[in-house]
Amino acid sequence: MYKYDHIDQTLVDQRVTQFKDQVERRLNGTLPEEEFRPLRLQNGLYHQRHAYMLRVAIPYGLFSAKQLRTLAMIADRYDRGYGHFTTRQNIQFNWIDLEDAPAILADLAKVEMHAIQTSGNCIRNITSDAFAGVAGDEYIDPRPICELLRQWSTLHPEFAHLPRKFKFAINGAQEDRTVLLCHDVGIELKKDAAGNLLADLYAGGGMGRTPILGSLIKQDLPWQYLPSYLTALLRVYNRFGRRDNLYKARIKILVKALGPAEFARQVEGEWAHIADGDDNFTQAEWDRVAQHFTKPAYQALTALTHDELLAHCAPQLNAQEQLAFSRWLERNVRKHQVPGYASVILSLKPHGTAAPGDATSAQMLAIADLADQYSFGELRVTHEQNLVLADVEQTQLLALWRAAKAQNLVLPNIGLLTDIIACPGGDFCSLANAKSLPIAKAIQERFDDLDYLNDLGEITLNISGCINSCGHHHVGNIGVLGVDKDGEEWYQITLGGEQGNDAAIGKVIGPSFYADEIPEVMTGIINTYVSQRHEDESFIATYRRLGVAPFKEAAYANAKKKTSLEKATIEGRAS
Amino acid sequence: MSHTEPTSAIPHSQVLHFPKGGKPTLAPNEWQVFHWDQDEGGIPDLEHGAHKVLAPFHWWVKHHQERDVMSLAHAGKIGVWFATDDDILKHADIIQAGKALWPVVAAHFPIFRDGRSFSTAALLRDRFAWDGEIRAIGDVLIDQLLQGARVGFDSFHLRSDQNLEIALTQFDVITVTTQNSWRGKRTLLKA
């Protein structure tokens, strides 16, 4: 992975000193909160319900065992012994004191990490495929471009106060694992027949109040031109994006208002003036960065099929273990580019015992050891808030499974209904209208049977505590959105969302539900799928074939059933 | 809530100058910012005032052909300031002509977190090749100086409550850069 040079290190070190001074001015009263706010946000510091939350960047999802140990130390020393991995490849600490923030940032800088631009109206942490460099379906390793753009966007002066936040995602694989079309700018990398690296750019995607999928505005841009083209694009947005209304300030609103063709034309007009300037990346810059993303020292191994691997491990497993291990191989282990290797997803989605994406400091330390022992000391964080050991020898999978099992990280639910994406919600976040975590817990407890979950197959269920959509509910096959009605917490259900190559925004099925109706509502929706599906038909395919009607009917019938049952119970008690 | 032109405080009499390639210094302010609205009429009486005037660009667009305005401009007494909603690219011809007349131009910050004037300054430097002074006016705070200096500003009339001594120390807080700007190429390309 990328290693800082003296420029990167100087930048993060000086940034810590700068923020330390800003915090001191805040604490001595010379810098008012209103004016400190954007400064702390651009250093990852939110003020939440109970305390400050610090969001630390894990650029394009890649980090090291050493860095994870520092994160564990921060969790223990400055927080309450855990951290929360987010959908945008960051980690959040929820119980931070402002006075400690500069010291934490200094600790992060020592291991080449930072919280720069993880919040605020600027270019945010750049996200990418968690399986970059190892995925079987990859045609371009996106990491050099990710790192080049991380550097280009870091402390970019012209775009330090954009109308609103600005998110990049970058993909180089056949299957999109980045939710590319839900980003302000999505960059799809490809190669032409001559082997030149090109980018297609999609602009104006986003979730939030007005979910929109991005539009293709530029095709076949040679990679060297990304800085000048993106400068032109961001300049048009910075000058003409709305600033009168917070909810209409994202680039998606500008692209929609102008139309993608006109927006592209304006960007092109601006770009014409700067395209050939020295903003563009040089081959030397590529070489400098790309040397860090070479392949690790893989052994020459023979690839094993699932059955061969099971047969190989069988003598060491009892019958019950064989079933569990086999399931884990199916659900939590992914194909690798290199024969004899596999990528392992550690599930941070235990059923009901921890919030989705949470890891304790003890787990972090154990995972760091696993990374060192089994995967060249490197880790990735996924959009679904799980962790990945990307380069594991197949013959080591059993040993890894046993070690990870001891840390409660091997639940074979990746891609299944209980692999829930959820924001921290109203338990922590002051923006939230409703809690997310108890809903996730209730659903995980209701659907706790692994046989049943496996039978249901792949279903994505995403929960956001408010319309800011940090839980990406719009692109869940089933989405749950917390809403506030007269001071009470209600939940709106959407169906039909999807991420990936067939990205789609889910549709609201109707009036919202009470929190305690949600498990019954889910049961109604899932039962409808089970009873109506054709053989091997996925949930989303069944939904697309049938439309919303039968699911909606079952959801409301079940919610009603629950309400009348309760009524009867209460009346029964009263009599 | 607006921080623009607080009425209770006296504006700084000094302006922070940070020329490209130079050092940050303080100097007395010679330019009075003229906020024009429709019923206000002409520019202030320059004959009896101590200051030269920074006029709103949209006022200049309307009045620059008037004889008395031209004669003051030729005497070096009028500069213009750009509001955040001035589309400077639409008035390229007027700006090109103005380059020969204005001793200084400015870009306004209605609130510190409105970054439009960063792009205005960048365009003035890149597109219009303006090599004279660009001044930041309005809600100009200590913690924007570094960004402003990089996009093209070389003078700053800070908000009245901002500590100028602290302001002077801001420009070498971060000494490396990872993208080009008006002040110079990214550090990597300088090596």
ipTM: 0.94
DSSP string, B93-133: HHHHHHTTT-SEEEEEESSTT-THHHHHHHHHHHTS---SE
A214 and A245 both lie in a single domain: yes
- Which tens digits make up the pLDDT trace of A195-216? 999 999 999 999 999 999 999 9
Q: Which of A22, A161, A227 sits opposite B115 (nearest CB)?
A: A161
Question: Could B176 and A274 be called an inter-chain contact, meaning their C-beta atoms sit closer than 8 Å?
Answer: no
Question: Could B126 and A274 be called an inter-chain contact, meaning their C-beta atoms sit closer than 8 Å?
Answer: yes
Cβ contacts from A onto B, under 8 A: 97
- Which tens digits make up the pLDDT trace of A254-267? 999 999 999 999 99
Closest chain A residue to B175, measured at CA: A11
Question: Could B173 and A18 be called an inter-chain contact, meaning their C-beta atoms sit closer than 8 Å?
Answer: yes
Candidates A15, A16, A33, A156: best to mutate against B (most CBs of B within 10 A) is A156
Domains identified in chain A, total number = 4
The shortest C-alpha distance from B150 to chain A (Å) reads 6
DSSP string, B165-189: HHHHTGGGSS---SS-BTTB--HHH
The shortest C-alpha distance from A158 to chain B (Å) reads 5
Q: Which of B122, B163, B176 sits opposite A10 (nearest CB)?
A: B176
Strand duo B104-109 + B78-82: pairing = parallel
A157 and A266 both lie in a single domain: yes
CA distance A178 to A353: 27
The shortest C-alpha distance from B174 to chain A (Å) reads 6
Instruction: Please tell me what DSSP assigns to residue A215.
Output: E
A401 and A548 both lie in a single domain: no
Question: Could B113 and A227 be called an inter-chain contact, meaning their C-beta atoms sit closer than 8 Å?
Answer: no
Question: Could B115 and A18 be called an inter-chain contact, meaning their C-beta atoms sit closer than 8 Å?
Answer: no
Class of residue B129 by CB neighbours under 10 A (exposed 0-12, middle 13-18, buried 19+): exposed
Q: Give the end of a domain, one of A405, A430, A459.
A: A405
Q: Under an 8 Å CB criterion, which residues of B touch A?
A: 1, 3, 87, 112-116, 118-120, 122-123, 126-127, 141, 143-144, 146-148, 150-151, 163, 166, 173-181, 185, 187-189
Q: What pLDDT does residue A427 have?
A: 87
CA distance A537 to A522: 19
Q: Which two tokens stand for residue B103?
A: 């001793």
Reading chain A (575 residues) residue by residue, the pLDDT tens digits are 999 999 999 999 999 999 999 999 999 999 999 999 999 999 999 998 888 999 999 999 999 999 999 999 999 999 999 999 999 999 999 999 999 999 999 999 999 999 999 999 999 999 999 999 999 899 999 999 999 999 999 999 999 999 999 999 999 999 999 999 999 999 999 999 999 999 999 999 999 999 999 999 999 999 999 999 999 999 999 999 999 999 999 999 999 999 999 999 999 999 999 999 899 999 999 999 999 999 999 999 999 999 999 999 999 999 999 999 999 999 999 999 999 999 999 999 999 999 999 999 999 999 999 999 999 999 999 999 999 999 999 999 999 999 999 999 999 999 999 999 999 998 888 888 899 999 999 999 999 999 999 999 999 999 999 999 999 999 999 999 999 988 899 999 999 999 999 999 999 999 999 999 999 999 999 999 999 999 999 999 999 999 999 999 999 999 987 766 666 665 555 44
Q: How far is the CA of A74 from the CAs of A48, A80, A107, A506, B8, in angstroms?
A: 18, 9, 8, 38, 44
- Which tens digits make up the pLDDT trace of A410-457? 999 999 999 999 999 988 888 888 999 999 999 999 999 999 999 999
The shortest C-alpha distance from A156 to chain B (Å) reads 7
Phi, psi for B66 (deg, rounded to 5): -70, 145
Q: What pLDDT does residue B1 have?
A: 41
Residue A19: its chain B contacts at CB < 8 A?
A: none
A399 and A444 both lie in a single domain: no
Domain membership flag for residue A182? yes
Q: Which of B119, B144, B176 sits opposite A239 (nearest CB)?
A: B119
Q: Which of A18, A162, A278 sits opposite B115 (nearest CB)?
A: A162
Domain membership flag for residue A411? no
Q: What pLDDT does residue B2 have?
A: 42
A427 and A555 both lie in a single domain: yes
**Number of helices (H), then strands (E), in chain B:** 7, 8
A286 and A140 both lie in a single domain: yes
Residue B115 has pLDDT above 70, yes or no: yes
Domain membership flag for residue A413? no
CATH number at residue A546: 3.30.413.10
Domain membership flag for residue A88? yes
A470 and A517 both lie in a single domain: yes
Write down the residue that tokens 């700067």 correspond to. A274
Domain membership flag for residue A128? no
CA distance A42 to A56: 11
Q: What pLDDT does residue B147 have?
A: 98
Report the 10 Å Cβ neighbour count for A513.
Answer: 22
A311 and A271 both lie in a single domain: no
Report the 10 Å Cβ neighbour count for A570.
Answer: 10
A263 and A372 both lie in a single domain: no
A393 and A521 both lie in a single domain: no
Q: Which of B1, B185, B188 sits opposite A34 (nearest CB)?
A: B1
Q: Is A492 left (phi over 0), alpha (psi -120 to 50) or beta?
A: beta
Phi, psi for B152 (deg, rounded to 5): 145, -10
Residue A287: its chain B contacts at CB < 8 A?
A: none
Domain membership flag for residue A177? yes
CB A391 within 8 A of CB A336: yes
- Which tens digits make up the pLDDT trace of A4-53? 999 999 999 999 999 999 999 999 999 999 999 999 999 999 998 888 99
Q: Give the end of a domain, one of A246, A261, A292.
A: A292
Q: Which of B3, B143, B188 sits opposite A285 (nearest CB)?
A: B188
Q: What pLDDT does residue A431 have?
A: 86
Residue A16: its chain B contacts at CB < 8 A?
A: none
Q: What residues does A117 pair with on adjacent strands? A: none
Q: Which two tokens stand for residue A439?
A: 């809903």
Q: Give the end of a domain, one of A110, A127, A162.
A: A110
A204 and A147 both lie in a single domain: yes
Rg of chain B over Cα atoms, rounded to whole angstroms, equals 17
A277 and A319 both lie in a single domain: no
CATH number at residue A22: 3.90.480.20
Q: Which of A7, A153, A243 sits opposite B176 (nearest CB)?
A: A7
Residue A121: its chain B contacts at CB < 8 A?
A: 113, 115
Domain membership flag for residue A196? yes
Question: Could A34 and B150 be called an inter-chain contact, meaning their C-beta atoms sit closer than 8 Å?
Answer: no
CA distance B36 to B43: 8
The shortest C-alpha distance from A268 to chain B (Å) reads 15
Q: Under an 8 Å CB criterion, which residues of A touch B?
A: 7-8, 10-11, 14-15, 17-18, 21-22, 25, 30-31, 34-35, 38-39, 121, 151-162, 227, 235, 238-239, 243, 273-274, 277-279, 282, 285, 288
Q: What pLDDT does residue A49 have?
A: 81
CA distance A130 to A414: 14
Question: Could B118 and A159 be called an inter-chain contact, meaning their C-beta atoms sit closer than 8 Å?
Answer: yes
Q: Which of A8, A15, A243 sits opposite B174 (nearest CB)?
A: A15
- Which tens digits make up the pLDDT trace of B59-104? 999 999 999 899 999 999 999 999 999 999 999 999 999 999 999 9
Class of residue B9 by CB neighbours under 10 A (exposed 0-12, middle 13-18, buried 19+): exposed
Report the 10 Å Cβ neighbour count for A548.
Answer: 17
Question: Could A7 and B112 be called an inter-chain contact, meaning their C-beta atoms sit closer than 8 Å?
Answer: no
Structural domain for A444, as ranges: 421-574
Write down the residue that tokens 């032409």 correspond to. A192
Residue B148 has pLDDT above 50, yes or no: yes
Average pLDDT along chain A: 95
